[in-house]
Amino acid sequence: MNNEEKQQLDSNELLLKTLELTKKYGIDDVIAQYHLGKEWQIRFSNSEQDIIKQWEVDNLELFIVKNKRTTMIPIQTPTLKNIEEKIKQSLIYLENSPPSQLYAGIESNIQTPAKIDGLFYKKTENLIESGSSLVYKAIDAALEEGAKKVAGVLYFGSQNTALRTSKGFSGEFDHSYYRATLRAFVEAESSGQDLLCGRNLDNLEAKMITMGKNAGKIASMAVNPKQGKAGTYDIILSPTVAGNIFGEITDAANPLFVMLGLSPLKDKIGQQIGPDFLTIHDNSLLSEGLNARPFDVEGTPGQITPLIENGKLMNYVHNTSTAIQYSTKSTGNSTFIGFGSGTRLLAPYSSNIEYTPGDFTKNEIIEESKKPTIYITSNWYTRFTNQIEGTFSTIPRDGLFYVENGEIQYPIRNVRLSDNLLRMLKNITQIGKDIQQIQWWEVNTPTFIPTIKVKDGNITAATK
Amino acid sequence: MNTEDEDIFTNNLKLAELIIEEGQKSQLDYIEARYIHLRAEGYTLRNGLILGGGVTQSDGIGIRVLHNGNLVFLSTANMKAESLRELVHQAKSMALASKRKNPIQFSEEKAVETKWSTPYQIKFKDIPVEQKQQYFIDMDKKLLQEFGEDLPNRTIMVNLSHELKYICTNEGSKVRSEIMQPIIHTFNTAMGKYGTEQRFFGIGGTGGWEWFEQQNIIQSVINDAKTMIKAAKFAEPMKLGKIDVIVSSEVAGIMAHENVGHPSEADRILGREGAQAGESFYIDLLKNGNLGEVQLGNPEVTIMEDPTIPGSSGYYLYDDECVKARPRTLIKDGMLNELLLNREFAYKFGLQSNAAARAETFEREPIVRMANTYFKPGSFTLEELAEDIKYGILMNSFTEWNIDDRRYQSKYVGLECYLIQNGEITEKMVRRPILELTTKGILGSVDGVSKSTGYSHGTCGKGDPGQGVPVWMGGGQVRMRGIQLGD
């Protein structure tokens, strides 16, 4: 809203008037979601702050339906005038479009939103004053562990999200977050990374320092790496790596992905796809989870949905439309997702992924690794030859270690994990109890996941 | 844009100038305002049916301040004078509160006052929505008619953007630009002998609606699907051992981009992307000598980077720091020759910027980026490249690829690949051959580049928050000797 209107309208009034406007123009169904707040970033490298950024969040997301034709209208800094103008413009688009294949309706059963404490910490905004100091403490902690230079990022922000739908749902909630990544370098090829994310600010300074220490320790352990050799190894995946690789499976437990050929999970509901000690839920009620929310964009309450239970694929995530197509119920996962270039769709997507912890500490997993094993602490650039098959490769980065006889023997470098998602899931042999929330560059969906061990992974290396 | 858009743009660019005035009053060392008016139109179709789409218009300003050696970036879509003035004061406070030990400085560049645009004939806005949608529905119909059940899963994603941009600085630069950009991606699944093959395929450039007909986009999409189906049906796994490899302009282009373009980015070399896109193996190379003194490839290798190619996806004439664009020769005759520089890193290297600063939207800071990266063409025809290969492959297209964050260990998995025997490119297709090679392994194996060229569209990702910018990749077809295929 602009300043004048802000004095007159709060978020709910803006949404109410927006819905009145859509009614005036004969729109059948509407979702109006409004975000108001601020976000910041402190970015650093070479052990110094590079830049501080601030983004104003003042966005209305308007999803409108007429005769099963749908479109999504994002409006930054909305005013009643520009909302009306954009509705009128979009009507021309709707009137000339065919019906959406993806739309079958929105939530009509108005329910009480889920109650989640701990989504908002007012002091988050104060990090604009203390954030730099926290960053330098994390940098110093990494340097004390032997790092020569440190790079990373700290994000934080808070906002109010308000929702109103044409079916009668109305709700709002305040939420805040922080997330940080820190990468420590001893040498160009000897680095370590750790990350941090959540909402509760208690002990944030100590957590930032621990993040720095952890990254610095890994970097120091990674000094003088040997060239890794291609072959078959057991693989220990840190939470960061497991979150990326197995996230490709849990994110694909989604009817849209199945329909587009982007999922290896087609026709696999009810099938055993992992070991019986593997249980994974989609959980939008985890307050520290960065995608926690009392309701989804249709107003369906947040909930816990079993995706894999005791190794068996139980569910895909759904919104109202996909639930109708699959003759089931929405799992409260409706959201607006950017798909392809230029289009945003109303579709289901994962909220927070939560693994049931296993019985092992990370050290116990290493100690039980008698065979040739590779421990990957971080990775990036996961790409697929075929997403239906799950054939992929990914590149370890940062500390990468050869493990044998229950001990880390030496650091290695320059190898690639070239494997298959479904095969790796089936080959999980140990699940740790060191659950950590992962969300960063390579893991989009917040994932509460421990260290995981997989047998017989395929490691490749450059041939020339 | 129509008059209404022009009016909005003209009115709002005064706000960008107001920001500069406020910055001057506040005695900021450097301030730039980048205002963007964007009309973006998108469609996504699956098997001929619309999944979603729409038209959006946005206005916003990104403000970057360098003061006391500290850098601050703020963005807003609130186009009110008072709010914008307040942001300038906030930026100054934030810069003063930052305490860098090593102040950031920018290279001195000539202030410019100019305007440029991508040539176009027909605005996307002037074509009725139903006509545009029908074009893509018809595109899918043609795929269905041509390939039927061989191509059971078809996705078409289209983005048509029209951007008016105005950048001004307290150094006196004022650059106004208009960029019209069509991009289309397909993601298709083909049925074959061993299951399925899949591929994301992108085509992009700069131009208006006429681009689709002039570039015969439907035929390009059909050709891509045809070769994917052919590979799915006829390609056979082969253990080929050490062979010679010819890669098409598409594959050579992604190598030029990933293995040479990215490590040439000066911000990576000096560590600014350390926690995100990573660093660069050039750090090690530059310990052994200066630019022009370090050999990275065979003398046949020259890699160019050029934002000024007309019609290209990466086309621009002035970068987002108002520096005039020009071709950059990254590798010249096998020798490391030039880096990609913005003003911050040009200063650090004691050089002038070569106009590599790009920002994806008004909400992002400009950082060092590629535009169009390619293998400079040589003197061979494709037949001449193949004629003295006893045993090898021609890799025309790829699916999976990745590279480590120092840009040294890369992998490219072939899709449409043919066996070469005794100098002849045969019709025998090789299933999913893998090139898993270091950058030196690639550039040190090249002994011939074709005189014919081709270019592919890509979206290059970098930065945190991530910024995807459109690029072209390509150049000549490239012959590499003695390549052991990966497993």
- The 10s digit of each residue's pLDDT in B105-126 is 999 999 999 999 999 999 999 9
User: At residue A299, does pLDDT exceed 60?
Assistant: yes
Task: Write down the pTM of the prediction.
Answer: 0.97
Instruction: Give, in degrees to the nearest 5, the angle at Cα B446 between B441 and B448.
Output: 170
What single DSSP character describes residue B256? I
Of A333, A156, A130, residue with least CA distance to A251: A333
Measured distance between the N- and C-terminal CA atoms of chain A, rounded to whole angstroms = 58
Which of A174, A189, A220 is the last residue before a domain boundary?
Answer: A220
Range of the domain at A180: 3-220
For A402, phi and psi rounded to 5 degrees? -90, 130
Q: CB–CB of B375/B305 below 8 Å?
A: no
The distance between the two most distant Cα atoms of chain A, rounded to a whole number of Å, is: 73
In a shared domain, residues A205 and A354: no
Query: For A4-34, what is each residue's pLDDT tens digit?
Result: 455 457 899 999 999 999 999 999 999 999 9
Instruction: Give which of B4, B41, B51 to mutate to test A binding, by max A Cβ within 10 Å.
Output: B51
Distance CA A289, CA B31 (A): 38
- Cβ(A128)–Cβ(B164) below 8 Å: no
Q: Given pLDDT bands bounded at 50, 70 and 90, which one contains residue A440? A: very high
CATH number of the domain at B34, please: 3.30.2290.10
Q: Is A108 on the interface with B (CB under 8 A)?
A: no
Indicate yes or no: CB of B399 within 8 angstroms of CB of A384: yes
Q: What is the pLDDT of residue B6?
A: 84
Q: Is B255 on the interface with A (CB under 8 A)?
A: no
The owner of tokens 């805040």 is A176
**Chain mean pLDDT for chain A:** 96
Q: What domain range is B389 assigned to?
A: 242-484
Asked whether residue A403 falls in the same domain as residue A373, the answer is yes
The answer on A252 and A154 residing in a single domain is no
Residues A216 and A277 in one domain: no
Cβ–Cβ gap B52/A344 under 8 Å: yes
CA–CA distance, B239 with B284 (Å, rounded to integer):
35
Provide the shortest C-alpha distance from residue A457 to chain B (in Å).
13
Same domain, A236 and A345: yes
Beta bridge partners of B56: B40
The residue from B186, B204, B234 where one domain ends is B234
State residue B291's pLDDT score.
95
Same domain, A199 and A327: no
Verify that B213 and B246 share a domain, yes or no.
Answer: no
DSSP-assigned letter for residue B304: E
Mark which of A194, A220, A246 sits at the end of a domain.
Answer: A220
In this structure, what token pair is assigned to residue A244? 């990326």
pLDDT at position A1 is: 46
A8 in contact with B at a CB cutoff of 8 Å?
Answer: no
**Measured between CB atoms, which of B41, B94, B399 is closest to A342?**
B41
Q: Do A105 and A48 have their domain in common? A: yes
Q: Give the gap in angstroms from C-alpha A115 to the nearest C-alpha of chain B.
A: 31
- A363 Cβ contact list (under 8 Å, min separation 6): none
Contact assessment for residue B458 and residue B202, using Cβ atoms and an 8 Å cutoff: yes
**A37 and A68 assigned to the same domain:** yes
Q: Are A18 and A81 a contacting pair, CB within 8 Å?
A: no
Chain A contact for B136 (CB, 8 A cutoff) = no
Residue B216 token pair: 């015969």
pLDDT at A8: 58
Q: Give the chain B residue nearest A132 (alpha carbons).
A: B98
- Check CB contact under 8 Å for A183 and B78: no
Q: What CA–CA distance (Å, rounded) separates B99 from B400? A: 43
CA-nearest residue to B134 within chain A is A97
Query: Buried b / exposed e across A243-277, counting CB within 10 Å, b at 16+?
Result: bbbbbbbbbbbbbbbbbbbbbbbeebeeeebbeee
With 0-12 / 13-18 / 19 or more C-beta atoms within 10 angstroms meaning exposed / middle / buried, residue B287 is: exposed
Assess whether A130 and A8 both reside in one domain.
yes
Q: Which of B214, B234, B254 is the last residue of a domain?
A: B234
Q: Is A88 on the interface with B (CB under 8 A)?
A: no
DSSP β-ladder status, B242-247 and B467-484? antiparallel
Q: Which of A214-228, A397-411, B42-56, B185-199 has the lowest mean pLDDT?
A: B42-56
B226 and B336, same structural domain?
no
E strands, B92-194, where? 113-117, 153-169, 174-192
Q: Are residues A66 and A208 in the same domain?
A: yes
Nearest-Cα residue of chain B relative to residue A386? B198
Is A55–B485 a contact, with Cβ atoms under 8 angstroms apart?
no
Report yes or no: A193 at the B interface, CB cutoff 8 Å.
Answer: yes
Asked if B96 is an interface residue toward chain A (Cβ–Cβ < 8 A), one would say: no
Tell me the chain A residues in contact with residue B438 when contact means C-beta distances shorter than 8 Å. 462, 464
Q: Are residues B175 and B83 in the same domain?
A: yes
Mean pLDDT, range A263-285, rounded to an integer: 98
Q: Residue B401 is nearest to which of A193, A342, A383, comparing CB atoms?
A: A383
For residue B47, count other CB atoms closer than 10 A to its CB: 17
| Secondary structure (DSSP) of A274-340 | S-TT--EEEETT-TTSTT--SB-TT-PBP-EEEEEETTEE------HHHHHHTTS---S-EEEEEET
Residues A433 and A462 in one domain: yes
Spell out a b/e string for A22-31, using b for 16 or more CB atoms within 10 Å of the CB, else e: beeeebebbb
Last residue of a domain, one of B234, B263, B298: B234
Nearest chain B residue to A382 by CA: give it.
B402
Count up the domains in chain A and report the number: 2
- Looking at the partner chain, which of A50, A89, A193 has a beta carbon nearest the beta carbon of B71? A50
Q: Inter-chain contact A77–B406, Cβ cutoff 8 Å?
A: no
Rounded to an integer, what distance in angstroms lies between the CA atom of residue B206 and that of residue B311?
Answer: 5
Is pLDDT above 70 for A341? no
Q: Are strands B174-192 and B195-204 parallel, antiparallel or unpaired?
A: antiparallel
* Check: complex ipTM more than 0.90: yes
Together in a domain, B190 and B259: no
Inter-chain contact B402–A76, Cβ cutoff 8 Å?
no
Q: Which residues contact A268 (CB under 8 A, 6 or more apart)?
A: A313
3-state SS, residue A417: strand
Interacting residues of B75 by C-beta distance below 8 A, sequence separation 6+: A53, A54, A55, A56, B60, B61, B62, B63, B362, B363, B364
Do the chains contact at B274 and A183, CB–CB below 8 Å? yes
Same domain assignment for residues B204 and B352: no
B277 and B185 assigned to the same domain: no
Place of tokens 């009614």: A23
Q: Do B275 and A183 touch (CB under 8 A)?
A: yes
Domain boundary among A166, A187, A220: A220
CB pairs under 8 A between A and B: 285
Q: At residue B357, what is the residue type?
A: A
Same-domain check for residues B178 and B318: no
Determine the pLDDT at residue B99: 80
Low-confidence ranges of chain B (pLDDT < 70): 1-3
Does A341 touch chain B if contact means CB atoms closer than 8 Å? yes
Q: To the nearest 10°, the Cα dihedral for A374, A377, A378, A379?
A: 10
Nearest beta carbon to residue A74 from set B56, B71, B76: B56
d(CA A377, CA A408): 13
Same structural domain, B271 and B415: yes
Q: How far is B230 from chain A (nearest CA, A)?
A: 16
Q: Is B477 at the interface with chain A, CB within 8 A?
A: no
Cα B411 to chain center, whole Å?
A: 19
Asked if B74 lies within 8 A of A55 by C-beta distance, the reply is yes
Q: Are residues B132 and B185 in the same domain?
A: yes
Domain CATH code at residue A48: 3.30.2290.10
Cα separation, B145 vs B391, in Å, equals 37
Total domain count, chain B: 2
Calculate the alpha carbon distances from A374 to A383, A455, B292, B370, B436 in Å: 20, 10, 40, 35, 20
Residues 28-67 of A with CB under 8 A from B: 41, 43-46, 48-56, 58
How long is chain B?
Answer: 487
Paired residues of B446 in beta bridges: B480
Phi, psi of B311 (to 5 degrees): 80, -5
A contact residues 135-174, partner B, Cβ 8 Å cutoff: 149, 151-153
- Chain A within 8 Å of B53 (Cβ-Cβ)? yes
Tokens in use for A55? Answer: 């983004």
CA B479 to chain CA centroid, Å, is 24
CB atoms inside a 10 Å sphere around CB B360: 22
Reported as a pLDDT band with limits 50, 70 and 90, residue A268 is very high
Asked whether residue B326 falls in the same domain as residue B213, the answer is no
Please give the Cα distance from B14 to B116 (Å, whole number): 19
Of B51, B58, B189, the CB nearest to A261: B189
Residues above pLDDT 90, as percent of chain A: 94
Indicate whether A309 and A176 sit together in one domain: no
